[in-house]
Structure formats: C-alpha cells, structure tokens
Structure 1
Amino acid sequence: MAEIILGISAFFHDSAAALVVDGKIIAAAQEERFSRIKNDSAFPSAAIKYVLEEAGVHPEEVTQIAFYEKPLLKFERLLETYHAFAPNGLRSFLKAMPVWLKDKLFFRRMINSELKALGFPRLKLLFPEHHLSHAASAFYPSSFEEAAILTIDGVGEWANMTIARGSGNKIKILKEQHFPHSLGLFYSAITYYLGFEVNSGEYKVMGLAAYGDPEAEETKVFIKKLFDEIVDLREDGSFLLNMEYFRFATHLTMTNDKKWSALFGVFRRGKEDKLQQLHANLAFAAQKVLEKIVLRLARTALNLTGSKNLVLAGGVALNGVANGKIMEIEGLSELWIPPAAGDSGGALGAALATWHISLNNEREPISEDAMQGSYLGPGYSNEQIGSMISKYTGLNFRYLEETSLLEETAKAIENGLIVGWFQGRMEFGPRALGNRSILGDARNPEMQRKINQKIKFRESFRPFAPSVLEDDVSEYFDLSSCSPYMLLVREVKAAYKNENLNKSLGFMERLDEKRSAIPAVTHVDYTARIQTVSKKTNLRYWKLLNTLKERTGDGIVINTSFNIKDEPIVCSPQDAIDCFLKTEMDMLVLGNYVLYKEK
C-alpha cells in the first residue's frame, strides 16, 4: 500500500499544500493561486483539492497529514514574550489573546474540521517544528547525500535561525537563534520603515538597495549606526537586536519610529511618499547588515558540519543578493536553494519530514534535485484551453504547431513586443520560471520601464530577471553554475557592461541609463537575478530561447511573473486571458494558441 502524505502550511501567510507519495513529490501549490488573494493565509482547501486531483487520490486514501509547525509551542512563545515585556504591549495582547483562545489553541480541532469538510476521515495529525519543515524542504529534494543546512526567517515557534546537518535521511539541528533576535524581522522592520508592505515588500528593499550610494557619508553613517546601536553581531553570525528600537514583539507595528528617526534623521516613509536617495541609502545599509550576518552564519554552518555543500531555506533565503555572495565563500563546493524557500515550502517540508524522519524511510539516490524544476502546479491541455477561449466573445486566437508557435513568439520578442507565456504546469514558489511568465527582449533599453508601467503597474525602480539558456549563462554573467530557481544575483560580465555612465544623474533618472548590452535585465549595480533554463526540466521554454538565439544571436529574455501588482501569479487560462485583457501586453501564448492584442 502506498504511503500518501499531505503537507499543509496555513494561517500566517502564503498557505500551501503538497502531496508526497512514497517519497516522490507529486504536486504542490499555494492557496493564493486559486483564491486570487495575494499571500492568502486561509486554510488551503483549494490547493489540497488540486494536489489530490493531480495524484488521482481520494481523501480517504491519504495515510499521513502533517502541518508545518507546532501551534502550541508558538502560543507558549507568545505568552512568554508578553510576560517578559509587560506592561508594554497590553493593547496587542488584548487583541491577540481572544483569537488564540477562540481558535488557535484548538488548531488540531480546527484543522480536522477543515479536512472533514473536504471528505477526509479523522487521521492523527503530525506537527514537525517550523524550522525542521524548512530544513526538510531544502535538504531532502537536493542532490546532496550530506550537506550543511541553514534556515533563516522571521520566526517559527521560538527559532528564527537554525543550523543543521543533513545526512542520508537524517537531519540533526546543531544551533538555533531564538525570538525576538531575528534577522528576518530586522529586514521586515526596515521594509516597514521604508513604507513597503511587510511579508511582501522585502523584495522591494533588496531592489532599492542597489540605488544606494556606498561612497556617500550618509550611507556609511547608516551602516555604522545599525551595528553600533541596533545589531550586536558576533563572529559566528549570532546577534542581539536592541529591542528599544522595535515594536514587533509586543505591539501592532514593527518599529519604534521615534527612536529610529532620532537615530537616523529619517522619518518613516508613507506608502505614497516619493522615494529619495536617503531611502535608497538606508536600504543599502540594511542589505549590507543582512549580508554580513548571512555570510557569517553560512561559514559557521560549513564549519560546524564539516560539509562543503550548503542548502538554504526560510524567507531570508529568497534574498538573491545575499545568496550570490555566499557562493564566494572559500571551502563551499555547492549551494542549493529550493524554489519555495518561504512558508509555502513548509508544506512540502512537513510532508518530506514525515516520510524520512517519522516513518524512517531512506532517501533514493538522486543525481538532480527532486523539485522537477518547480513545475508542480496545475497544467491545462490544449483542449481545455480551447474550451476556455470559446467562452470569450471577440477574441481571435490561432492554433499553431510547435515550430510555428516558437518562431512566431521569438519574432514578436525580437520586434519589441511583450508576450504573455502560459505553458505546462504552474510553478510552486514565488517565481515564474517560464510557465506563467511575461517575456520581453532583454536587449531593449525601454523594456524594463514599459513592463513596469504598462503591464505590472508597479514601482519603476524594481528590476527584472533574465532567463538564459543554461549553457550560455557564463557568457553573460559571472556565474559558472546553474541557477534554476532565480535565487542567485550575480554581476553582468565586463564585456557586456557600459561603464561610461553619467555619475551626476539623480536617483530615479538612473533607471533610463543603458547599463549593458542587455539593459532590460541589468540592475543599476550591474547585477541580475538569474534563471538558467534547462532542456531537461522545461523543454518548450528552452526551445523558445534557442529559437530566439538562432534569430538574434542571444538566447536570453526578460522573465517576470504573469500577474499585475497586488495580484497572485495566474493559475488558469481564464486568469491569463483576464490579465492580458486589462494590461497593454501585446501577445498571449496559451499552450499552442496565440492571440495578438491588435487583432
């Protein structure tokens, strides 16, 4: 009888479900893709229905169900924190306690009730710890027999950072750092202070940091004050936060705004306030603090485990700039980061921890990562797509065989058109990796601003990532290994850079500089967040880039997620058509169907 394990993450942000059958990952998806609520925290009923359907499994056939953390241990942390900081935080305490006492203390009953509504029989629920779920999501799908494991995020139950050793089917936690001294929450506090949304705006801080001036006296002062007053860093990467500057432990906000503004001479930015150079300089300073801590932790993880391999997980593992710096650590042989490194990946980690740790099953020898390119979500046949198209009036789609389809799409990209590209199974994790993507010409200097303003409706300073043929990555970038999940930031090769830039330009004026021969994917600091495309994991996308290379000499495109600001990435053909119709996208490719906007 097959061992069918359902993993669930829910109730904080980015809820998800994953299904593992006899140790093999079958399906995984975030609830937001079905509910269309970005970062949806609700119980992932739709995602659970999907993963069961993908596997052809009925609820009564599931043998194990695992939730990605221990709720009662989290409640213990909440109580002890309020007690430690009392009488501060009374208002927050009075708001949080009724919710916990009404619902969250009875997590098991609440989860069982949701599962019963989906047709599940009553099963014993397993609750691996939050950071064990992260560690499992990073180590077990990797190709490593043994590795150092580093997990960093805001907070789980108590831990917000762990160092572990993975070997065979075992994971041993060696070191932890506990709440409230959290690197993830430090970066979220900066996110909040700079006027962005916590738990979703951290990417914006990372992008904004590149506009910071490292030579400016203001920037140097920011960095010094962060280390002198706020972060007490140790040699091994552990640190203490000066909690006088923070409010996340006991209040309903992230920072003590009065103390921050007194320290930095910078008031907290309102969401609609204009971004200025000082905001970019503060973002740069915060990014440098994060990088310094992450690098020390990575070295400590390698030293403690004696391993030359490193895997990362947790929300901080989505910081591609820091990940790119880790690659330069002496003694590191290989680095691997799963595509869903944040809390959504905890659902998969919980399922894998159940298979390998609770049930003590050995790992099968694997030469490649088991995430299958992250293409673990729903897919749609041409018949299903055609049926969906027929429900719209006035749409003029054409059906093309693959060779014609690839030529038509490559020609459109070459001619400066913006293409919605919808193929195969949806990606699991925050990145579109060539199946739910918006594509454009990386060589076009106007493409970044055009996509930001006319398609994504978002801040124009945010960079776009390149998708590049795996065999060509070292031609364009300072990277000799693969980066399948768009989680490594590296510099553009010197041969492609344009060093003759106007140094006197203002903050936002720098956006229009032609920084390289591939300007649409080159950030202001000459870096790019790279996705390498493999023939093995996404043949059609690889063929498209190869067709473009045959036409232009460059097998590289802008690849950004198929969505607009504040909406999740599209899941279904209907989502894609709706997004296409309300933006200025030029062309939509759904399976083998093609539609031009002007037609």
Structure 2
Amino acid sequence: MSKILGISAFYHDSAAAIIDNHDIIAAAQEERFTRVKHTSEFPIQSIQYCLEASGYTIDELDAVVFYDKPFLKFERLLETYYAYAPRGLVSFLKSMPIWLNEKLFLKKQILDGLKDVQSYDKKKLKLLFSEHHLSHAASAFYPSSFEESAILTIDGVGEWATASIGKGVGNKISILKEMHFPHSVGLLYSAFTYYLGFKVNSGEYKLMGLAPYGDPNSLQTKNYIKTIKTNLVDIKSDGSIWLNQKYFNYAVGLRMIHSNKWNELFGLQERTEEDELTQSHCNLALAIQLVTEEIVLLLGREAKRLTSSDNLVMAGGVALNCVANGKLQASGLFKSIFVQPASGDAGASLGAALAVNYGYFNNNRKVDSSSGSMKGAYLGPYYSEKEILQMNAAYKAVSIKIESDEGLTAICTQHLLENKVVGWFQGRMEFGPRALGNRSILAIANDADMQQKINLKIKYRESFRPFAPSVLKEDAKLLFELDSDSPYMLMVSSLKEVHRFSIPKESFSIPLKERMSIPRSKWSAVTHMDYSARVQTVTELENPLFYKLLKQVKMETGFGILVNTSFNVRGEPLVCSPVDAYSCFMNTEMDVLVINNYMYFKENQPDWQNNKKWKKQFKKD
C-alpha cells in the first residue's frame, strides 16, 4: 500500500489529490479555496484539504509527485527559441528570467510550499516527477473500469508531447506514439479561441458552445474548412498534424497568432470580447470544431489500430471537447469509452499520484468493473450542519430546515415547476470543471426562456452559452440518441427526432439573439441549435439525493430532466463552501438556495434588495 500526494501547479488549474494505493481519497482544485479562477499558485489549501480528508501527515506519505518534468520543458523552450532565432528575441528575454529564477528551482518551490502546509522532515520526503502526458494517461486509465484499454491524451503541450496514444494493461501503461510541439490540436483550437475574442485556457468551451450557431451547409463554412486545411493544418491519416508556423506565434512570441495574416486569410478582423458576434464568427467556430472532430476521430482510429482494444480512455484538455467525444462514441470504434472528468491539468495531479503508485511502487491494481474508482468525481470537501449554522449566524441568513429527503425534494420540485432557479449545494464538491449535482444551479428544462434568463440574470455571461441536462439514466435513452452512460457530462448526444421541433430553413439569416428564442424542443433550455445536448446521466448509486429530486420532477412532468449548470457566476470558480454558496445566491437573481437540508428563499433574506451590499461587478472569464 502506498500513500501518495499528487500536485499540479505553476501553469494553470493548480490542484492536489491524495490516494491510498487504489483508493482515491480526495482531490480538489486550488481555485475553489482561493476564489481565483484557474489559479496557478502552489495549491496550499488543496493539499491541506487532502491531508485532512486522508488523516495523514506529510511525514506519513510514501511520496509526493509533481505532474510534469520542468527540466524537459526548459529543454523544449531553449530548443524552440534556438530553432526560430532570431525570431522571438523579445519573448526569450522576458521568459528566461522567469525560468531561471522560478521554474528551474521548482523543487525548492515545492519543498517550501509544503512547509507552508505543515512542518515535515525533509530527509524523509520522497519527491518525484511524472511526465505530463503520462500523468494524463494515468488519470484516465487507472480509475477506469477497464482491465485493459487504449489510451488517448490530447492537450496544448506538456514537456514536448502534445498528444499521445498508449495502452493500459493491468497496472502497466505503455506509450506507443506521441505528437510533439509545436504541432498541437489543443494549440490549434486555442488559436481560434483567441482569434474569436475568448481567453486561451479558459474560453475554449465558449468556442465549442458557439459552433452550433454556425451553418454547416453555407458556402462560407465550407470555405473556412478548406482554408484551415489548406493554409493552417495538414492532417495526416493517423491523426497527427503539422501546423504552418507562418501563421502562429505561440512558439516564440507573446501572442497566439499573427493576427494580420489571419485577418487576410479569413476576410475578418480579429474579434475583441466586446465586439458583436456575427454569423461569420459562428461559421468559423463551426469550421474549427468540425476540423477538430475529424482529427480526434483519426486519432481514435489510430489508437484502435495500434491497440486492438475495445475500450478507450481519454484525458488532456481537448478531452473536455464533449462534442468530439460524442462523435467518437457514435463512430462505434470502441465498445466503451471513459473520459477522465478532470481531464485538464487539475486532473493531472491525480494522474501523477496514480502513475507513481503503479509505475514506481508497482502496486497491484484493483479494478472496479462497474463504475471505476472516481466516486462520481465527488472528491472535494463536505460541510456539516455546524458549518452551515455558523454561516447563518455570520450573515443573519434566514433558512428553514427540512428533516427528510422526500420533503426536501418535494418542496424543491414545486419551486422548480414555478420556473424558480435553485442553487443546489450537497455533499462533497465535484473534482473537475463540471457541476454534477452537488454544486449546481438547477431549473426546469421546459421553460423556453430559461436559457437566456440564467445566462443574463444569474450567470452574467454571454446569452448564446448552452446549458446541459441532468437526466435520470432510465430516461436518457428515451430522450437522446445515447447508447451509453454519461455520468460526467462529457458526451454530447442528439435529441431523438420524435422530440424535435422543426426550425425554419431560413433560421441562419435571423440575428443570433433572435435565433436563440426559437424553440427547438419541449426542453429548449437544454437543446442546442443543432438539437444536441451535453447529457449527464444520473443514477441512484452515484448520487442518491439528486436522483430522488429528478424522480420527483418525473412524477410531476413525465420525464426526470433538469437544467444543470455550475454553481458560480462569470469569472468565479465553482462554489466550495456554504459561505460561497450564500454569497453567490445573494449576488444574483437566484430564487432559492438549498444547502444540505436547509432552504433559503431570497425574499426572506435581510438586505436582499440592497444593491450596494450584494451586487458586485463580476470578472470576465
């Protein structure tokens, strides 16, 4: 048995995870504690939480593992600057002091950071480093329910690798093939994220959400795809790509792209965040989404060819592209696919710990053949009644306590049916970017105005952004073209044709804001423009209380389906504590808050109409 702490930090999405051999005890992102979204700071509070959850001290650990190898990254940086010299001199001069002062002394930073967590015996500490894509691969394979599988990791860049294909068997992972920097599917997608006015490393999901507003049959979309393939990316038959660095600047520059060249290429101006979205922007978003899906499918085919496995596991930032995942699932290449719910760098903290547990310590692997060992991704902190009452006292919050689960779900359902928006805070916080029913904002799915209401009045974000449905597992196949479970909201599936409303053929000529109001189905709030939805299937085993709530909704409406979006507002991370939840509740036009078995109604709260106290400016994301 090995007790191992995994850490990711110093780039984005810092996190910590702790395991005891095959048992994943706890994992959390640092942003949830510091309230700074995508923070890169050393995850002091996440580590403190993991140690408290496990009951171990640092001295009792068998190893502490960092999620990548900084010296290999430094090697890549130096070789890249050398290859492109004299281009990139300004970037080189800016980045070298940072690397020399911080990154090359990463071991000292980690040791010092651990001291800030608690005192420990430095002589006893075993500090190890895992390669970046091995960390991703381990995060996907070891928690899966598969004894063996193909492994596909795709992201921006680790040390050198930007994608890898491997095979996992028992407790062993073999990397069979890698794609190397500067050629990267993740960086290609991020370049379009940047060009269309969204933030790199956080706005990629906006680009994915914008794509369905593009017209797949328009000549412009088809020309954009042709332009991308002719000028920017050469796609090989095995899914590997070659990016024309004439158009990109991320390798040695301070920006993602050469904007003037892109403007000329696409006949557009680089969009800023404030610029209105046009149909051309939507068509370009669709074009790069379709190109990305093509690449992911080819990589999947190559993984199948190399491994002959019926199973596939995926991780890395691009594995959060649930539309591409859905296409891969629908292709039938693999009988079963598992995507790590924390596929980005946060999840690599868990992968680093698992890679060392099985690769370094050679521990036997115990496979949970039913649902894997991710525990529904509910790996974050839990808050007791004592902490809720402390919050109530501090804020003079007015609540009622509902003694039974049946009473709680019945009252909550009635408010949902009145088109109220409910903040739902239960149990342990989710690990990864998706709210899965423990830190969620919920609403009824058959209110045609609910999508825009939540976007504009609760989330304070762009009105085009779609919402996901949480659905009873037994109802999911009745509503969607879904032939497998989707517990982590990482597969997009189409609504069955029988439930679709016809959309006018000329809809793509209608302005974007007006088009969003066209009903696509009875559940318009969770049905995207192309009839797709990012489905979460809910079972009683994974989340019994959320399952009860959906069952109650089914009793009243015929189907167990709700809008489920993350419990946060624009620019802020998912809420972690009762204080975070109450603050978010009071700062938005949310109607009802549920924290464990306590219910809060907006109109009963003190100063609930005091704009100066509760209405704050939210950061852009």
TM range (shorter): over 0.9
What is the rounded CA distance, in whole Å, between the counterparts of 2:106 and 2:603 in structure 1?
52
TM-score of the pair, normalised by structure 2: 0.95
What is the rounded CA distance, in whole Å, between the counterparts of 1:500 and 1:562 in structure 2?
31
CA shift for structure 1 position 395 = 2.6
CA shift for structure 1 position 394 = 5.2
What is the rounded CA distance, in whole Å, between the counterparts of 1:456 and 1:121 in structure 2?
46
Tell me which of 363, 366, 369 is aligned to 2:368.
Answer: 366
What is the rounded CA distance, in whole Å, between the counterparts of 2:336 and 2:77 in structure 1?
38
What is the rounded CA distance, in whole Å, between the counterparts of 2:581 and 2:140 in structure 1?
31
CA shift for structure 1 position 416 = 0.5
CA shift for structure 1 position 401 = 2.4
State the SS of the aligned residue for 1:598: helix
Tell me which of 464, 467, 475 is aligned to 2:467.
Answer: 464
Instruction: Tell whether the 8 Å contact from 1:245 to 1:256 is kept in structure 2 after alignment.
Output: yes
What is the rounded CA distance, in whole Å, between the counterparts of 2:266 and 2:111 in structure 1?
49
What does residue 45 of structure 2 align with? 46
Alignment of 1:117-516 (within 5 A): 117-118=116-117, 119-122=119-122, 123-367=125-369, 368-393=371-396, 395-501=398-504, 503-504=506-507, 505-516=510-521
- 3-12 or 58-67, which moves further after superposition? 58-67
What does residue 63 of structure 1 align with? 62
> C-alpha offsets along residues 387-418 of structure 1, whole Å, 9 cap, x if unaligned?
22122125344444222111000111111000
- 196-205 or 547-556, which moves further after superposition? 547-556
What does residue 78 of structure 1 align with? 77
> C-alpha offsets along residues 2-55 of structure 1, whole Å, 9 cap, x if unaligned?
521000000000000000012210000000000000001100000000011111
What is the rounded CA distance, in whole Å, between the counterparts of 1:208 and 1:331 in structure 2?
27
What is the rounded CA distance, in whole Å, between the counterparts of 1:352 and 1:528 in structure 2?
32
State the SS of the aligned residue for 1:549: helix
Instruction: Tell whether the 8 Å contact from 2:63 to 2:126 is kept in structure 1 after alignment.
Output: yes
Instruction: Tell whether the 8 Å contact from 1:276 to 1:507 is kept in structure 2 after alignment.
Output: yes
What does residue 105 of structure 2 align with? 106
Instruction: Tell whether the 8 Å contact from 2:153 to 2:314 is kept in structure 1 after alignment.
Output: yes
Show structure 1 runs of 4+ deviating over 4 A: none
State the SS of the aligned residue for 1:250: coil
- 369-378 or 213-222, which moves further after superposition? 213-222
Aligned amino acid, residue 48 of structure 1: I
What does residue 549 of structure 2 align with? 544
Instruction: Tell whether the 8 Å contact from 2:494 to 2:531 is kept in structure 1 after alignment.
Output: yes
What does residue 608 of structure 2 align with? none
Distance change >3 Å, CA 360–CA 394, structure 1 → 2 = closer
State the SS of the aligned residue for 2:280: helix
What is the rounded CA distance, in whole Å, between the counterparts of 2:326 and 2:386 in structure 1?
42
What does residue 3 of structure 1 align with? 2
What does residue 523 of structure 2 align with? 518
What is the rounded CA distance, in whole Å, between the counterparts of 2:2 and 2:503 in structure 1?
61
Aligned amino acid, residue 29 of structure 1: A
What is the rounded CA distance, in whole Å, between the counterparts of 1:373 and 1:393 in structure 2?
34
State the SS of the aligned residue for 1:240: strand
- 213-222 or 162-171, which moves further after superposition? 213-222
Aligned amino acid, residue 500 of structure 2: K
Distance change >3 Å, CA 330–CA 339, structure 1 → 2 = closer
CA shift for structure 1 position 500 = 4.2
- 397-406 or 276-285, which moves further after superposition? 397-406
- 120-129 or 84-93, which moves further after superposition? 120-129
State the SS of the aligned residue for 1:171: strand
Instruction: Tell whether the 8 Å contact from 1:501 to 1:515 is kept in structure 2 after alignment.
Output: no
TM-score of the pair, normalised by structure 1: 0.99
What is the rounded CA distance, in whole Å, between the counterparts of 1:309 and 1:521 in structure 2?
29
Aligned amino acid, residue 493 of structure 2: R
CA shift for structure 1 position 491 = 0.4
CA shift for structure 1 position 502 = 6.0
CA shift for structure 1 position 283 = 0.5
What is the rounded CA distance, in whole Å, between the counterparts of 1:516 and 1:120 in structure 2?
58
What is the rounded CA distance, in whole Å, between the counterparts of 2:403 and 2:450 in structure 1?
27
What does residue 577 of structure 1 align with? 582
State the SS of the aligned residue for 1:244: coil
State the SS of the aligned residue for 1:412: helix
What does residue 586 of structure 1 align with? 591
What is the rounded CA distance, in whole Å, between the counterparts of 1:328 and 1:463 in structure 2?
21
What does residue 532 of structure 1 align with? 537
Aligned amino acid, residue 214 of structure 2: G
Aligned amino acid, residue 241 of structure 1: L
Q: Percent identity, please.
A: 55
CA shift for structure 1 position 384 = 2.1
State the SS of the aligned residue for 1:126: strand
What is the rounded CA distance, in whole Å, between the counterparts of 1:264 and 1:536 in structure 2?
50
> C-alpha offsets along residues 142-194 of structure 1, whole Å, 9 cap, x if unaligned?
00010000000000000000000000000000000000000000000000000
Distance change >3 Å, CA 107–CA 500, structure 1 → 2 = closer
- 495-504 or 226-235, which moves further after superposition? 495-504
Aligned amino acid, residue 418 of structure 2: N
What is the rounded CA distance, in whole Å, between the counterparts of 2:459 and 2:150 in structure 1?
38
Aligned amino acid, residue 26 of structure 1: I
Instruction: Tell whether the 8 Å contact from 1:587 to 1:596 is kept in structure 2 after alignment.
Output: yes
CA shift for structure 1 position 108 = 0.9
- Are 2:570 and 1:565 equivalent residues in the alignment? yes
CA shift for structure 1 position 383 = 2.9
Aligned amino acid, residue 411 of structure 1: Q
Report how many residues are paired: 598
Aligned amino acid, residue 328 of structure 1: A
Aligned amino acid, residue 497 of structure 2: A
What is the rounded CA distance, in whole Å, between the counterparts of 2:497 and 2:224 in structure 1?
30
What does residue 601 of structure 2 align with? 596
Structure 2 portions without partners, runs of 5+? 605-621
State the SS of the aligned residue for 2:53: helix
Aligned amino acid, residue 554 of structure 1: F
State the SS of the aligned residue for 1:210: helix
What is the rounded CA distance, in whole Å, between the counterparts of 1:188 and 1:394 in structure 2?
42
Instruction: Tell whether the 8 Å contact from 1:400 to 1:594 is kept in structure 2 after alignment.
Output: no
Distance change >3 Å, CA 527–CA 582, structure 1 → 2 = same
Instruction: Tell whether the 8 Å contact from 2:16 to 2:50 is kept in structure 1 after alignment.
Output: yes
> C-alpha offsets along residues 525-579 of structure 1, whole Å, 9 cap, x if unaligned?
1000000011111100001101111122120000000000000000000000000
State the SS of the aligned residue for 1:460: coil
Instruction: Tell whether the 8 Å contact from 1:377 to 1:427 is kept in structure 2 after alignment.
Output: yes
Aligned amino acid, residue 38 of structure 1: K
State the SS of the aligned residue for 1:512: coil
Instruction: Tell whether the 8 Å contact from 1:422 to 1:435 is kept in structure 2 after alignment.
Output: yes
